[in-house]
Amino acid sequence: MRLARFIHSGNQLEGSVKDDHVVDLSSGERFQFEEVTWLPPCVPSKIIGLVLNYRDHADELGLSVVQEPVIFLKPPSSLIGHLGQIVFPEGTKYMHYEGELCVIIGKPARKVAANNAMHHVKGYTIANDVTVRDFITNTFRPPVKAKGFDTFCPVGPFLVTPDEAGDIAHLEIKTTVNGETRQKGNTSDLMHAVPEIIEYLSDFMTLLPGDMILTGTPKGISPIYPGDTVSIEISNLGRLVSTIVPEARNN
């Protein structure tokens, strides 16, 4: 099943997507995709990201891989939905996309073993862990500012339940900018698989329903600028599209 949250005629609604063009409500109402404004498919209490979870991405950055997951938090205010606008902060030198598989928690998880972790997953979506590399220095560690600006976490379009997502250990990820392929990878290359990540995180924090876990990005990052359109596709999960806009100046 594919579940969606959206706005129609000023109302926030939730529905299911049974084909590529229509959202169905439980009331029987149906809306064409072009009639709605997409929202993030859930409302998390926290968004947890992993860095360097693909060895090839660590290699392209010239960084060493560590055995334990390296995590950071993105604020909920960074969330935007499918077809939303990512704001390019004024004065930025290097901003880039990071196409990622996003895990959505379905029931509370605390000290959950890896072999039981998937029972706590509600589903999956696509995420773009937008990053300004200007702020990734020893002074700005962990990279909360670099990844925490408003609009820096596009997600969606849908929450795809595990039965429809298929084998999440073998999903292809592709990112294009203005139609040009910039990034290709596969979740089979994750250094820390989803069950291991949930076990690690739930050992010291309670994961709550709706919480999002961004599992890392493969190699292939490159700069993006105002006017660009970024599209991220993951097998079985759909396509997340965002546009880059300049930051509005305060007069």
Structure tokens that stand for 155 in this block: 């997600």
CATH architecture of 1-39: Roll (2.30)
How far is residue 179's CA from residue 222's CA, in Å, rounded to a whole number?
14
40-246 fold: Fumarylacetoacetate hydrolase; domain 2 (3.90.850)
The radius of gyration computed from the CA coordinates of the chain, to the nearest angstrom, equals 17
Phi-psi sector, 228: left (phi>0), alpha (psi -120 to 50), beta: beta
pLDDT digits 0-9 by tens, 173-225: 999 999 999 999 999 999 899 999 999 999 999 999 999 999 999 999 999 99
How far is residue 204's CA from residue 211's CA, in Å, rounded to a whole number?
15
Residue type for 106, please?
G
Lowest-pLDDT range, 37-41, 49-53, 88-92?
49-53
Say if 1-39 and 40-246 have the same CATH topology. no
Q: What percent of the chain has pLDDT over 90?
A: 83
pLDDT digits 0-9 by tens, 108-159: 999 999 999 999 999 999 999 999 999 987 655 678 899 999 999 999 999 9
Cis peptide before 89 (omega within 30 of 0): no
* CA atoms within 13 A of residue 219's CA, in its CB half-sphere: 10
Task: Give the residue extent of every domain in the chain.
Answer: 1-39, 40-246
Mapped onto helix, strand or coil, the DSSP state of residue 155 is: strand
Mapped onto helix, strand or coil, the DSSP state of residue 42 is: coil
List of residues 6+ apart from 189 with CB closer than 8 A? 54, 55, 56, 218
Q: How far is CA 82 from its chain centroid?
A: 11
Q: Would the pLDDT of 250 be above 80?
A: no
Nearest Cα neighbor of 98 from 212, 215, 188 is 215
The whole-number pLDDT of residue 62 equals 72
The whole-number pLDDT of residue 65 equals 65
Segment 4-11 shows an average pLDDT of 96
In this structure, how many other beta carbons lie within 10 angstroms of the beta carbon of residue 227?
11
The whole-number pLDDT of residue 63 equals 65
Burial string for 14-23 (b: 16+ CB within 10 Å, else e) reads ebbbeeeeeb
In this structure, how many other beta carbons lie within 10 angstroms of the beta carbon of residue 114?
15
Please state the pTM of the whole predicted model. 0.94
DSSP state of 133: G
